[in-house]
Chain A
Amino acid sequence: MLDLPFFLDTLSTLIGGVPLTLQLTVLSVSSGAMLAFALALMRVSGNPLLDYPARFYIFAFRGTPVLVQIYIVYYGLSQFPVLRQSMLWPFLREAYWCAVIALALNTAAYSAELIRGGLNSVAVGQIEAARALGMSRPLAFRRIILPQAFRQMLPAYSNEIILMVKSTALASTITLLEVTGLAAKLISQSYRPVEVFIGAGAIYLTINFLIARLCAALQTALSPEKRAAPAPAQSPETEAPRHG
């Protein structure tokens, strides 16, 4: 069934697409996170002029397929002469940047809600204590709310990163030869989808396994309060006497 030499050969070709897959992920997740943070602040601002635009953004980007968003950016933007003549055009005409932009805009919508959830999860008493000890709002936000919100949202956010790794596969539809793009190319040459797609799947699985472990390690490192209490210092009277 499975042709092992062909499979290994395929795998080594597909691994060539990993750098592009990772680039798309890292660029879209990091720029998406910044946009998401701004959107989350707009959502929790309590100002309708900021809240409602953010709500609409999230509504629009969560309610439409990523593939449609990629197509709109890649095929749609060239319809606007303003954009074609703008300084951004060298970027916007590249499939690479179109994929990054579309994926970033998409993950921003989901991440904004994760960040908002994290911010809202911080107990009122924690914030009151900060105020009662004289902290200004920005200081309380930076020192108390944000660190606690970050710990709270990290598990859900690692999920979002994993979803983004998988979403980069859609970049293959706009000519990019990342892992899935290479896989499609190999299949059209070899007509052996089983080996090729199992190889591609194994690569995504490995990347996501590593991301999940990394996030779990970060979570543990950031939540010492969830671990056991530090052991009391050894003192002579606490040592159990040994009976011979």
Chain B
Amino acid sequence: MADPTLAGRPNTPAVELAGIRKSYGHHEVLHGVSLAAQDGEVVSILGASGSGKSTLLRCINMLEIPDAGTVAIQGEAIAITRRPGQPPRSADMAQVGRLRAKATMVFQSFNLWSHLTILENLVEAPVHVQKRDRRECLAEAEALLARVGIADKRHHYPAHLSGGQQQRAAIARALAMKPSLMLFDEPTSALDPELVGEVLKVIRDLAAEGRTMLIVTHEMGFAREVSDRVVFLHRGVVEEEGPPAELFANPRSDRLRQFLSREGWKTSAPC
């Protein structure tokens, strides 16, 4: 069993979850999950479908509001109102908005805004949420698009791009907010196999520059390569947690061993 308390750490963690529980109806998906990521750390969250890993990620930016437990981003705990008999609500929407802009999410299905060009997608939130200068944002957006390799698509609409290009644009859109933390919710699961590599390359570059990232993924080779730490979630609890080399080479729990062999990660060559 993993111990989430990282005693003696010098800094406030970039994100800290403590005792997160979440139910849908009578079905509890998360049974008290605790997890922390330090600044600059890349944490991969693995688990079978239904293990609650996407729900956990969505609890961090309050797309799902946990029934119990706390979420703190850079030491600031998100205020949640919980009354018996009512679904939990975020108590302070302004706070949630501010923290979401710090912890931006990249979705499995990209979710680029279909009525805006790629460039407009990138400047929309910086201009209207962060109230930054539009011209400055446009210049930054151009640079970000160049960085993810789709500068030539800046005036295209999302529908005109391949899945891999759309996901790279979505990553650039998340970067445009200058987040302190990035959340990736199965960023390559909706892609054709030949497009997975180009997206992983972008994420790998981000890891290399020391960005704090939480990545929910099924790409075992990738998780092993980029992560500082891997968390294995099973049926809503952290079953095992540790450095990737250790965890992949010597899984302690039977469940992780079964999971890894089912995913056949050893055969999937690192991209």
On A, residues with C-beta under 8 Å from B are: 123, 125-126, 128-137, 139, 143-144, 147-148, 151, 224-226, 229-230, 232-233
Which residues of B in the span 74-125 have a Cβ within 8 Å of any Cβ on A? 93-94, 97-98, 100-101, 104-105, 107, 109, 111-115, 124-125
**A233 and B125 alpha carbons, distance in the complex (Å):** 28
Q: Does B134 contact A (CB under 8 A)?
A: no
Q: Does B159 contact A (CB under 8 A)?
A: yes
Query: B34 contacts which chain A residues (CB < 8 A)?
Result: none
Task: Report yes or no: B155 in contact with A143, Cβ–Cβ below 8 A.
Answer: no
Task: Report yes or no: A230 in contact with B155, Cβ–Cβ below 8 A.
Answer: yes
Query: A148 contacts which chain B residues (CB < 8 A)?
Result: 113-115
Residue of B nearest to A226 (CB): B159
User: Majority SS of interface residues in chain A?
Assistant: helix
**Sampled A-B contacts (16; CB under 8 Å):** A125-B109, A129-B113, A130-B125, A131-B100, A132-B63, A132-B100, A133-B124, A134-B98, A134-B100, A136-B93, A136-B97, A137-B93, A225-B115, A225-B157, A226-B159, A233-B152
Task: Report yes or no: A133 in contact with B129, Cβ–Cβ below 8 A.
Answer: yes
Query: A143 contacts which chain B residues (CB < 8 A)?
Result: 124, 128
Known A-B contacts: A133-B174, A134-B177, A143-B128. Give 6 more (CB < 8 A).
A125-B107, A126-B111, A133-B177, A134-B98, A144-B115, A225-B157
**A226 and B155 alpha carbons, distance in the complex (Å):** 14
Q: Which of A131, A137, A144, A226 contacts B113 (CB 8 A)?
A: A144
Q: Does B132 contact A (CB under 8 A)?
A: no
Task: Report yes or no: A132 in contact with B61, Cβ–Cβ below 8 A.
Answer: yes
Task: Report yes or no: B125 in contact with A133, Cβ–Cβ below 8 A.
Answer: yes
**If A229-B156, A230-B156, A233-B152 touch, does A135 touch B111 (CB 8 Å cutoff)?**
no
Which residues of B in the span 50-73 have a Cβ within 8 Å of any Cβ on A? 61, 63
**A130 and B170 alpha carbons, distance in the complex (Å):** 12
Task: Report yes or no: A134 in contact with B129, Cβ–Cβ below 8 A.
Answer: yes
Task: Report yes or no: B115 in contact with A147, Cβ–Cβ below 8 A.
Answer: yes
Task: Report yes or no: B115 in contact with A135, Cβ–Cβ below 8 A.
Answer: no
On B, residues with C-beta under 8 Å from A are: 61, 63, 93-94, 97-98, 100-101, 104-105, 107, 109, 111-115, 124-125, 128-130, 152, 155-160, 173-174, 177
**A137 and B98 alpha carbons, distance in the complex (Å):** 13
Q: Which of A129, A135, A136 contacts B112 (CB 8 A)?
A: A129
Query: B129 contacts which chain A residues (CB < 8 A)?
Result: 133-135, 139
Task: Report yes or no: B63 in contact with A224, Cβ–Cβ below 8 A.
Answer: no
Task: Report yes or no: B115 in contact with A151, Cβ–Cβ below 8 A.
Answer: yes
**A144 and B173 alpha carbons, distance in the complex (Å):** 15
**A151 and B114 alpha carbons, distance in the complex (Å):** 11
Query: A230 contacts which chain B residues (CB < 8 A)?
Result: 155-156
Query: B113 contacts which chain A residues (CB < 8 A)?
Result: 126, 129-130, 144, 148
Q: Which of B105, B125, B158 contacts A225 (CB 8 A)?
A: B158
**A65 and B159 alpha carbons, distance in the complex (Å):** 43
Task: Report yes or no: B115 in contact with A139, Cβ–Cβ below 8 A.
Answer: no
Query: A134 contacts which chain B residues (CB < 8 A)?
Result: 97-98, 100-101, 125, 129-130, 177
**A137 and B97 alpha carbons, distance in the complex (Å):** 10
Task: Report yes or no: A126 in contact with B104, Cβ–Cβ below 8 A.
Answer: no
**A148 and B98 alpha carbons, distance in the complex (Å):** 25
Query: B94 contacts which chain A residues (CB < 8 A)?
Result: 136
Query: A226 contacts which chain B residues (CB < 8 A)?
Result: 159
Query: A224 contacts which chain B residues (CB < 8 A)?
Result: 157
- Return B86 CB to nearest CB of chain A, in Å: 14
Among B61, B94, B158, the one with the most A-chain Cβ atoms within 10 Å of its Cβ is B61
- Return A126 CB to nearest CB of chain B, in Å: 6
- Return A151 CB to nearest CB of chain B, in Å: 7
Query: B111 contacts which chain A residues (CB < 8 A)?
Result: 123, 125-126, 128-129
Query: B61 contacts which chain A residues (CB < 8 A)?
Result: 132
Query: B98 contacts which chain A residues (CB < 8 A)?
Result: 134
Task: Report yes or no: A135 in contact with B160, Cβ–Cβ below 8 A.
Answer: no
Task: Report yes or no: B100 in contact with A225, Cβ–Cβ below 8 A.
Answer: no
**A147 and B130 alpha carbons, distance in the complex (Å):** 21
**A123 and B114 alpha carbons, distance in the complex (Å):** 10
Task: Report yes or no: A131 in contact with B63, Cβ–Cβ below 8 A.
Answer: yes
Query: B128 contacts which chain A residues (CB < 8 A)?
Result: 135, 139, 143
Q: Which of A123, A125, A135 contacts B97 (CB 8 A)?
A: A135
Task: Report yes or no: B112 in contact with A133, Cβ–Cβ below 8 A.
Answer: no
**A137 and B107 alpha carbons, distance in the complex (Å):** 19
Q: Which of A135, A137, A232 contacts B125 (CB 8 A)?
A: A135
- Return B112 CB to nearest CB of chain A, in Å: 7
Query: B104 contacts which chain A residues (CB < 8 A)?
Result: 132-133
